[in-house]
Every structure is written in structure tokens, then in C-alpha cells.
A and B are shown apart, each in its own frame.
Chain A
Amino acid sequence: MHRILAFVKDLLFPVSQPEQSPEELKSAFKNRYRNFRGLLTANNNALQAMAELEKVYYSRDSYRMATVRSKITTILVNVYKMIGNIQEMSAGRYKDLETIFETISQDLDAIIEKKLSPVQGPLVLPLSEVDKKVKSEAGEKMANLGEVSHLPGCLVPQGFVVTASATRHFLGSGHIGEINRRLQLLDPDNLDDMLKTCEEIRKIVHETPLPQDLEELLHVHYSRLEKATFPGCRVALRSSALGEDTAGVSFAGLYRTELDVDRDSLVTAYKEIIASKYGAKAIAYRRKRGYRHEDMEMCVGCLVMVDALVSGVTYSRDPGEEESEVIRINAISGIAKGVVDGTTMTDLFLVSREKPHAVVYSEMRQNSDKLPVQHAAASSLTYAQIRKLAETALLLENHFGQPQDIEWSFDHQGVLHVLQSRPMLIGHVVGGGDSPALESTKETGEKPFLYGGIAASEGIACGEVFRVDSTAEMLSFPKGAVLVLKYPLPDWAPLLSQASAVIAENGSEAGHLATVSREFGIPALFSLTEAMTTLVNGETITVNATARAVYRGCRRDLLRKKAVKKDIMAGSPVQRILTEALQHITPLNLNDPNSPQFKASWCETLHDITRFCHEKSVSEMFKFGQEHHFDRATAKRLVGKVPLEWWVIDLADGFREGTSYEDKTVRIENIVSVPMLAIWQGISAFPWAGPPPVSVRGFGSIIFQSTMRPDLDPAVASALTTKNYFLISKNFCNLSVRLGYHYAMIEAYVSDLLTESYVTFRFKGGAADTKRKAVRAKLLGDILQDFDFRVELRSDALLARLKKQSMEYLQKRLQILGYLILHARQLDMVMNRPEAVEQYKEKFLADIGEMLAEHTLPTLAESVNGEQQTLTG
């Protein structure tokens, strides 16, 4: 509405142009109008993409780099179009916009397409030379293991690391580029597509020959290991990824570990690990947590196999509770594989962190199913071993400065080997023994029909049962279902981003799938016997992992206890990129078109540019009439049976043909603007209930009040802005309304093409303090939401939008807006009485219902043909 001031200036000092022939004028006008339409459409597309981008950013859900890239591309393309349109409409008046846009788009491109420039280093490093200083070559896991090897009393297997430089040397930029291209095209929600792409990439990795120098180095270092141990020694190849170092992100069990590798299988096993970076579970995980595939590099550790008697996982603090004074040890005979992949039951020991590390609780689960009930199974660990594990755990926690998750093996000589130590993920694990969480089963309502197991990840969720035992079943897993498994294998991890909860017949809290469930905040109940046979596909159940109970149906009473969802993307590279990118996109600095800073050169963000272009496009349309003596652009007073005072400015073809442009007034029956007529039906549907405390014509008293009340918008003081203006064309209408202290704006383009059709409504202010204004804005927002508007509320400022809907649909919405802007005024008097506000809401809804039922709207054709019955006489 501030633009009126600029118009008035133009009215007083119109710039005259040489006369053009009617044809020239017509063609020039057509061109300008096409640009105007194009600009409005591009504006809406850009604003929508911005809103969507902000929505994913604040959703706490995961989003992909591909989404960020495509939304930003859409915004840029549309802003570019807007600049083109406004430049064409204004004969290139706003050159600054082009320079600013160029800078912003280059900045965004640099942020989005950030490239790493790695330095080429050694291809292989002996583990004894590895520590955290060479993390960028050895990867996270091997750098940590190198650190451990330097600690007194800690033994790690002998070995070497095939570095990140080696991986780049192996795949070369060509293959890496091709792989990244395939990953970008991949739809990660389509498991079928994903598995296909993963297989293709795996093939690329396997079919690429290892460079000869790298292959020779692998053999040289393997021979050294043989020399240090015995000829033909077996090694384990382990992944050691780079660029996955955010706290709270485990990347547990996503990559391959190859056991029992000898000289002959060394190269194949190496490739297998490199390829596992592109396995389905790793891709799904990175996507969920906001990591980009190209930012992550794979290194490979090659370690001599420990001849393990007993192995396991130690948490230096029991993850079940914060500040736990207990160490948790899960142990198993033989190698540790069964612990982490969830295939085997493990013995559990809870050990005091205080010397002498007494065992406070133990559970021999390993052979429990093979032994008679009540019969104690043999312990897999001796007390001396338990003490050694506890001491090591505390030593490692102390060295790394945070609780550790440690994988280990005792060999047949009783020597402890640390295989891995990484920061522990603080989640919640309950189960095993008397759990305080049992209390939560004291609920009203039906008792659980399944009970027991191990709470591998706490929480409550409901969904339909879906059993998965094969890849085929995996592919048809429905989003939001409860995943039911026999074994919690890491291979099922891609389903975790779609499942509401996980139940497994086997496994423990130490497995990878348990870790990932905790990370994703999905309830997981493991070692629930007979889950696969008891639970029926399609049945709706509620899983309360915390209480280790499963209920029939969806138990809303229990779900209410659900904790706040955690931000799965927090701190991830993709989130960092989006945070940085948004700075160039969404902040709005150009608020007030009346301000001397409302200039092209003051635009800082893409939002500023859209705001500026939109404002100027309307005034350019207006100016056209001025410059070419159309004279149609003069404001005309709407006369007839009209409540209040309304002015109409015809930008293009909004008046019926033959309407005299000399007249200072216009009657509603001479208006053919589809959106204006719809709004008008809403305005005139019910008599205005006034009485206003301030006459709308009494500008003086408004000025007086606004000087008394400094919280009012300063723009109120301008007499001109207190008029209500319709700027119209046949398909377009922009209505600025100021009734009392309300400021409202309705803008619409309504046509047969959904692409360009939209309705926008802004509302702000009112005679009340900020809190009451906010109540009013919320009330309007609630009503509009009922009619499917997309509503944004910020304090007392309301923005409601609709786009890409049919003409009839939008006309109805415009009627509603017309009604609301006129009658919202009544709320001024009652804002301090909440019950009255509610009454008004009901009255409004009733009126709107009646109005929509009564009035059939004119179609475009009818209004053009002049069949429309006017309500104004």
C-alpha cells in the first residue's frame, strides 16, 4: 500500500512519452502484461521454494543434499526470471539487481558445490606409526586404534592402514565422479532403485584393477606381518571412514569387515571394504543423518587376526542412564562378530567403575536357551578378565576424554587385544534385570500381550507389524510400520529410516542395529522370543521398548509419553551447508517500500530481490498507463450501495470495455476483474457491523491517535494510505485495506492456468496491544487454515497463501477474505474477552458457510459478458 505514494508522485509529475500508434501501444502493453504475469508466477514459485526450504530446515527430519540443491536451483531460476521481467518492464531501470544477483548466485554455488582438495599422502601406513595426527589419511577408527597402541598396557593387533590417498589413487577422479553422479540420481526412498545402484557401484569398484604400486605395497606390508607373526597369517580388514566425526553419529556397522583374509584374498577383500561405502545401509544412513557421500572417504585397516577365546563389547559407562557409575560388558565365546551383528545372545556384566570393579549384576544369556530353566550357565569371563576390561575401559575413557565403546578379544594365552575404541553414543538402554521402567506398564487399559526382551533403544511407538526375513520383504516394507525381525542384522539398517519401531527375536543392546536405533530415536525391543511367530503382518501394535511390552492396537495413552523428537540432522555437513546458504536466501531487509533504502542497491538476499521486484512490477504496470496517456490508471471511487470508501485503479483490462476513463467514479457492474469481484462478494455479503470508533474518513483522528500511541505503525499517519485501493486487471487484483489500525492486503491472480494462479493475504495490526493483536491474527489464521490456506504467523503478522488451485476454488477463498477484512474490525472491541473471541470465530464461520452456500460465483466468461448481478445497485 505504500506504493500509492509513489503513484501519486507520478500522478502529479507524469513523464510524457512520444505518441505511439495504437498497434504499437497494444503490443507494448501486451508484452508488459506478459512480463507482469510471468513475474508474479516466478515470485510465487520462488517464495514457495523458500518456504519449503525453511520447512525442511526446521522440521528436525532428515533431508538430502539433492533436495537442498534442487530447491535452491528453483529459487535462483525464478528470481532470475523476475529480474528479467522487471528489467523488460522498466526498460532496464534496475541494473543493480543483476549485479547483486550474480554475487548471490556465485556465493550459493560455492556453498552448495563445495569441493574438497585433498593432498596426496602415503598409500600405506604401519599401525605403529598411526595416531590422531594422521587421521585424514588413516580414518577415524584406525587413528583411534593407533592412539590406543601407544597407551601403556594396551595391546592392539599388529597391522597397517591403507590410506585415503590410496583410495583416491585406486578409483581415480573418473570413477569417483561417475559414482557420485549415480548417487545423485538415486531416489533413496526407492529401495529397489537403491539396491540396483549399489550393485552397479560395487561392480565398478570390483572391476577397477588396483594400481600396480598399490598392489605391491599391500603385499610388502602383508609380508612384514607374516614375518612378525607366522607365515600365512590371517588378517582382518576393517573399514575406517573419514569425515564422519560429528558427536552422536555412530556410523555403526555400516561398512564391511572381512575376516580370515590371506595373501590371495587381500586385494578382493580390500575392494569389498571400499565398495561398502556405497552399500545400501551406508547410503540410507548418511542420507538420514545429513552426510554427503562425496565428503566421506574410506580407508582400510589391515590387522592380524586374534585367536580369540572370548570377545565382546565394553561401554565404559552403562548407556542406560546418564552419569552411570557402572561399566557394561557384553561377552561371547570366540570372535566378537556375533555381538555387533546381533546374531548371538551375549553374556552381560555390569561392573562398578570403582576399584576393585565388583560385578554388580550379571546375566548368562549366551547358553540360556540350551540349559534348563533356573540352571546357571557358565560364565564366559573370569573375574580377572572382567577387572582387566574395566581398567582398560577407564584408561581409554580417560585418554579420549569421553565414555568409550570398546571392541575387544582375549586370546587363548589370556592376553587382551583392543580391536576398536570409539566415543560412546549416549542413548538409553534399559532391560536385563529389574528395570525401573517397569513402572510405566502400570497403565489403565489392556495389558500387554507380549512382554520381556531387551530394550535396545528406549521409546514408545505404534504401527502395523511387518515381518522381514528376506531382501524381497525388505523392498515392500511400508513406511511407518513396526519392523519385526529374527536377527537384528546391520543389513536391515536401511529400513530404520522408515520404521516406527523394531522388534527382534534375538540380539542385544550392543549390536549395531541397536546403536543405530538409539541414534534415530526409534524404539527397539530385542531378544523378544517368538516375536516372528506371534506377531501377524498388518496388525496394529504399540511397542513400549522402555517397559519391554507390546500392546494391541494404537495406545494413544502411552504414546503421549513419547519424548521430544531429536534433531537427527544436528551438526551434520548438509545442515551446515543449508544454514550457510539460507543466509543468502531468506532474510528480508527491504521491508518498507516508503523507506529511502527501498532500492535495488540495498537488496542483500534473494528474498529482498523478490520483494523489490514484486513491488516495482505493480508500479511499472501503473506507470504504463500514465506514460502512454491511457489514463485508465487514475484512481476511481467505487460508487453505488457501497459500505465504506473504496478506490479502484485499473492496471490493464479490469474495467468493462467501453467504460469511460474520464469519469472519477466507477460502478461495480463496470468491473470485470475476476478476483476483485470475488472479494467484493465477500465484502458485500453481510452488512458491516461497525460502528467504528474512528471514522474511516476521519484521518485527523487517526493521526491524533497514532501520535498518542507510538506503537502504531508510523505509516498510518499518511492520509493516502488510509484509503482502500483495488489495483486490478481482468485476472489480477491487489487490494490494500486499512480499516482503523488494521492493515490488510489481498493479492490474487486467477486464471485457467493453475501455474500462475494464487491468492496471498497479509494482515497486521489493529487497535490493541501486541498480545491482543496476536490473538486476533491467530483467530484469522485458524479460520483460514480451515479453508486450506497455508498460514504463517509471526506475532501479530499473518501471511496466508494458496496457489495452483482451480479458479472456482480460489474465488471462494477470495470471498472469505473479503468477508474477513471487513468484519475482523469488530474484534477490536472484544479482544480482551477470550470467550467473545471464540463467539466471533463461530459467527464468522457460520456467516462464511452461509455465504458460500448462497452465492454462486460468476465464471470468467459470465463476468465478461456482463451477466453478473451486482449487490451495490
Chain B
Amino acid sequence: MVNNKLLLVDDEADFREIMAKFFSRRRIDFETAGGCMEALDQLGKDIFDVVIMDVSMPGLDGIQCMAEIKKIRPATEVIILTGNASINTGLIGMKRGAFDYCLKPIDFDELMEKIILAREKASGKSSP
């Protein structure tokens, strides 16, 4: 059984706030985390099918954090969303199993569709 809940991990409080408004308006069930440790705490409390992940954060970065999340719940789909394009992190992110690698600023509707597609994939994996 998949829980349709989303987790946003980003160290920028302003960004989390904007996204929170957006998710609420779209009636998406979500939580936010300001860093990897907080994200892992959330993961202990709840089940998420999709995680939206920033890359450069203090402490564990988004790529490392994704690896930690996948260790706990392999079926989670991670959408990387970064303001700082880099060929290297882009490809490492994909190789370590990110669903997608997107650049800020991103169109809300486009992100919404990516969430839908990631959800589709997540449900495919966890269903028998």
C-alpha cells in the first residue's frame, strides 16, 4: 500500500514557504524538511512516495541524502531540484537513482506533472 505523501527537502526557508503554499493549493499531502537529518526524522515518522530534494545544503547534501533515503525506503522516488546546474551532480544524481533532475526556477505545473509521473513509477514498484 502506498501512501501518497510528499516530502520537500530544501535549506532555503523562503523556498519551502512558497512550495508549501503551492502544495496546499493543489491539495497535495506534504511535509517539509530544512536539511537531511530533518528529512530522515520525517521518514521515520511517515511514509512518503515522492521526495523533492535540493542539492547544496549544509550537512549531508541532496545526493547523499537521497542515498540514505533509498536505504530506508527503496521505493521512494526522488526528484532533484537545484538552482545550481552541474553536469557532475546531475549525472551522479541520476546514476544513484533519482527520478529526475530539475533546475530552479521550475514551472509549478511542470513540477506537478513530474510528481504525478514519479508517483506512477513509485506505485508500479511497490505493487506486486
Contacts and interface: CB of A to CB of B under 8 A. Distances in A.
A74 B124 CA distance: 26
Interface string B62-94: 000000000000000000000111111011001
A105 B90 CA distance: 11
Interface string A741-768: 0000000000001111000000000000
B110 A31 contact: no
B101 A73 contact: yes
B91 A76 contact: yes
B87 A105 contact: yes
30 contacts: A27-B128, A30-B124, A31-B124, A34-B120, A34-B124, A66-B85, A69-B87, A70-B85, A70-B103, A72-B87, A73-B85, A73-B87, A76-B87, A76-B90, A76-B91, A77-B90, A77-B94, A77-B100, A80-B95, A81-B94, A81-B100, A84-B94, A105-B87, A109-B87, A753-B116, A754-B110, A755-B110, A755-B114, A756-B113, A804-B110
A80 B96 CA distance: 12
Nearest to A181: B84
Given A70-B103, A77-B101, A108 B113 contact: no
A181 B91 CA distance: 20
Contacts of A66: 85
A108 B87 contact: yes
Interface of B: 83-88, 90-91, 94-95, 100-101, 103, 109-110, 113-114, 116-117, 120-121, 124, 128
Contacts of A74: 85, 103
A73 to B, nearest CB: 4
Which of the listed residues A76, A185, A755, A804 has the most CB atoms from chain B within 10 Å of its own CB?
A755
A113 B103 contact: no
Which of the listed residues A69, A77, A81 has the most CB atoms from chain B within 10 Å of its own CB?
A77
Secondary structure type dominating chain A contacts: helix
B87 A753 contact: no
A66 B84 CA distance: 9
Contacts of A27: 128
Interface in A24-70: 27, 30-31, 34, 38, 66, 69-70
A34 B109 CA distance: 21
Could you say which interface size class chain A belongs to? Answer: 20 to 34
Given A34-B124, A73-B90, A81-B94, 20 more contacts: A30-B124, A31-B124, A38-B117, A66-B85, A69-B85, A69-B87, A70-B85, A72-B87, A73-B101, A77-B94, A80-B95, A84-B94, A105-B87, A109-B88, A112-B87, A185-B84, A753-B113, A753-B117, A754-B113, A755-B114
Nearest to A755: B113
Nearest to A111: B87
A184 interface: yes
B74 to A, nearest CB: 16
Contacts of B86: 69, 73
Nearest to A754: B113
Contacts of B91: 76-77, 80, 105
Contacts of B128: 27
Nearest to B103: A70
A858 B87 CA distance: 43
Contacts of B110: 754-755, 804
A296 B116 CA distance: 45
A184 B113 contact: no
Contacts of B120: 34
Nearest to B105: A187
Contacts of A109: 87-88
A185 B117 CA distance: 29
A619 B84 CA distance: 37
Given A81-B94, A113-B87, A73 B116 contact: no
Contacts of A105: 87, 91
A754 B110 CA distance: 8
B58 to A, nearest CB: 14
Interface in A468-518: none
Contacts of B90: 73, 76-77
Contacts of B116: 753
Nearest to A41: B117
Nearest to A109: B87
Contacts of A804: 110
Nearest to B86: A73
Contacts of A756: 113, 117
A488 to B, nearest CB: 35
Interface in A580-635: none
A76 B89 CA distance: 11
A30 B127 CA distance: 12
Interface string A1-43: 0000000000000000000000000010011001000100000
Interface in A434-492: none
Contacts of B85: 66, 69-70, 73-74
B11 to A, nearest CB: 13
Nearest to B80: A77
Contacts of B109: 754
User: Which 4 A-B pairs have CB atoms at the shortest separation, nearest pair first?
Assistant: A70-B85, A755-B113, A73-B90, A73-B85
Contacts of B94: 77, 80-81, 84
A69 B95 CA distance: 19
Contact of A185 (B83, B100, B103): B83
A113 B113 contact: no
B119 to A, nearest CB: 12
Given A73-B101, A80-B94, A755-B113, A34 B121 contact: yes
A105 B124 CA distance: 30
B84 to A, nearest CB: 6
